[in-house]
């Protein structure tokens, strides 16, 4: 396996939300020598730093049953102030949504008086409860965006080879998302190649959210499949070098990173019944509990159980196409529910006549079951004529960047 990631720092951005806590730089004359000051700088609590030379800090993780009152009452915060922060401040943030396990930090003066409580909503977002002023504000930590480049050859699977190359595990998920309509990653071959340029956001040195693919080329069965990220006015999507969309009418497979354990076969020997019985679907083997995705937009026409099919879901996509997903361990949708492409509709199991965990995926075209792997679906919205020239210029630059990635 040859593949390496070259990390290049490209930008550090701070996105500010109106009426939220000030995200300007911390007091420039303060030397951040103490843990307390460094933490205050991290949350951009400028006035605390300026007004108090020495800060005392307590921190912890929210425990089961703990509320805002449990965090502040032991430090002498009055009931009136708790009411102001918890009830009046509900319009800014509902303290009832605080999650067990999330971090909190209590800033106190040298004399031990509580000043502000900071609650971490997630890696990036936080809430500031000002015990002195009785205000609640939202804030965000700055995001550092790094651009990286990688290339390699498939020796096992996309996720395993990315892990061996030291690439983020989430990058394989992002790649699968880009090529979900073009490449069935359960059928990648040894020798398939990839080149990719992507960005990853970091908050306080930790990866935040999924990587974003800027450009990629996956060579599958000796066919090079380029993908370029571009926004022609209605959000980012991925297109080939001619401006055709990579997003097609249906996903190639209903589960990620599985293998085909049984193909569409009109004369298959049934593994349980031990007799010839047509298998008018494709079996995707995957771990028990793996999410099963709707391969296209549609309405759930059935969500039921039979002795042979086990727990299953059937979706009508339009007047032409229907799909069915069998042997679920659990259904996640109900009859009549509208679902979106890529939405989880259930989880892999082995209910019904099954020898192991898998999803039997069935596909109907005009009322007849067909082999979906042999269907040719048209692409969705391509680059519009008004954007074609700009897109091709952008794609040409990205093509040069991809070609420049050293083996």
Task: List, in order of start, the domains of the chain with CATH numbers.
Answer: 1-12+143-248+380-407 (3.10.450.350), 24-140 (3.10.450.350), 259-374 (2.70.70.10)
Q: Say how far apart CA 393 and CA 388 lie, in whole Å.
A: 9
User: Mind listing the pLDDT tens digit for each residue in 37-47?
Assistant: 778 888 888 77
Q: Say how far apart CA 194 and CA 216 lie, in whole Å.
A: 7
| pLDDT of 20 strictly over 50 | no
User: Mind listing the pLDDT tens digit for each residue in 116-125?
Assistant: 999 999 989 9
Q: Say how far apart CA 395 and CA 390 lie, in whole Å.
A: 9
Q: What global pTM score does this model have?
A: 0.67
What 3-state class would DSSP assign to 38? helix
Compare 279 and 167 and report the one with higher pLDDT. 167
DSSP state of 243: S
Q: Which of 328, 355, 375 is nearest to 262 (CA)?
A: 355
Compare 169 and 82 and report the one with higher pLDDT. 82
Whether the CB-CB separation of 186 and 192 falls below 8 Å is answered with no
C-alpha torsion angle, residues 309, 355, 323, 333 (rounded to 10) = 70
Element (DSSP H or E) covering residue 361 = strand 358-365
Q: Say how far apart CA 155 and CA 66 lie, in whole Å.
A: 49
Mean pLDDT in residue range 306-315: 95
Q: Say how far apart CA 99 and CA 326 lie, in whole Å.
A: 35
What pLDDT, on a 0 to 100 scale, did the predictor assign at position 273? 52
DSSP state of 329: E
| pLDDT of 155 strictly over 90 | yes
What pLDDT, on a 0 to 100 scale, did the predictor assign at position 266? 59
Whether the CB-CB separation of 140 and 203 falls below 8 Å is answered with no
Q: Say how far apart CA 211 and CA 162 lie, in whole Å.
A: 13
What pLDDT, on a 0 to 100 scale, did the predictor assign at position 51? 73
What pLDDT, on a 0 to 100 scale, did the predictor assign at position 275? 56
Mean pLDDT in residue range 299-314: 95
What confidence tier does 236 reach under pLDDT thresholds 50, 70, 90?
Answer: very high
What pLDDT, on a 0 to 100 scale, did the predictor assign at position 15? 29
Q: CA of 20: how far to CAs of 30, 35, 114, 407, in Å?
A: 23, 25, 21, 46
Whether the CB-CB separation of 332 and 304 falls below 8 Å is answered with no
| pLDDT of 29 strictly over 70 | no
Q: CA of 358: how far to CAs of 41, 139, 285, 339, 371, in Å?
A: 50, 44, 4, 21, 18
């Amino acid at each position: 396996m040859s593949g390496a990631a070259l990390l290049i720092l490209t930008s550090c951005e701070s996105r500010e939300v109106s009426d939220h806590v000030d995200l300007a730089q911390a007091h420039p004359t303060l030397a951040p020598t103490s843990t307390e000051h460094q933490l205050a700088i991290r949350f951009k609590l400028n006035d605390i730093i300026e007004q108090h030379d020495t800060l005392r800090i307590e921190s912890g993780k929210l425990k089961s049953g703990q509320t805002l009152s449990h965090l502040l009452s032991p430090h002498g915060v009055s009931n009136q102030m708790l009411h102001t922060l918890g009830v009046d401040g509900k319009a800014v943030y509902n303290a009832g949504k605080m999650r067990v396990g999330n971090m909190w930090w209590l800033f106190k003066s040298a004399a031990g008086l509580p000043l502000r409580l900071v609650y971490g909503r997630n890696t990036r977002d936080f809430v500031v409860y000002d015990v002195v002023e009785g205000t609640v504000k939202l804030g965000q930590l700055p995001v550092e965006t790094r651009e990286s480049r990688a290339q390699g050859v498939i020796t096992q699977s996309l996720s395993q080879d990315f892990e061996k190359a030291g690439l983020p595990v989430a990058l394989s998920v992002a790649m699968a998302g880009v090529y979900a309509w073009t490449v069935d990653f359960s059928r990648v071959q040894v020798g398939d190649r990839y080149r990719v340029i992507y960005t990853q956001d970091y908050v306080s040195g930790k990866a935040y959210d999924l990587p974003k693919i800027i450009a990629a080329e996956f060579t599958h069965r000796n066919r090079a499949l380029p993908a370029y990220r571009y926004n022609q006015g209605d959000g980012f999507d991925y297109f080939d070098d001619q401006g055709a969309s990579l997003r097609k009418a249906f996903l190639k497979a209903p589960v990620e990173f599985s293998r085909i354990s049984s193909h569409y076969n009109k004369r298959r020997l049934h593994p349980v019944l031990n007799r010839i019985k047509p298998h008018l679907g494709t079996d995707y083997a995957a771990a028990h509990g793996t999410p099963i995705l709707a391969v296209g937009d549609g309405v759930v026409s059935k969500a039921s159980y039979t002795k042979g099919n086990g727990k299953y879901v059937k979706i009508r996509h339009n007047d032409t196409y229907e799909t069915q997903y069998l042997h679920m361990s659990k259904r996640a949708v109900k009859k009549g529910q509208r679902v979106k492409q890529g939405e989880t509709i259930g989880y892999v199991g082995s209910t019904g006549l099954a020898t192991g965990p898998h999803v039997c995926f069935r596909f109907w075209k005009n009322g007849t079951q067909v082999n979906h792997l042999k269907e040719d679906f048209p692409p969705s919205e391509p680059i519009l004529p008004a954007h074609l020239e700009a897109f091709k210029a952008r794609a040409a630059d990205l093509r040069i960047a991809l070609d420049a990635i050293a083996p």
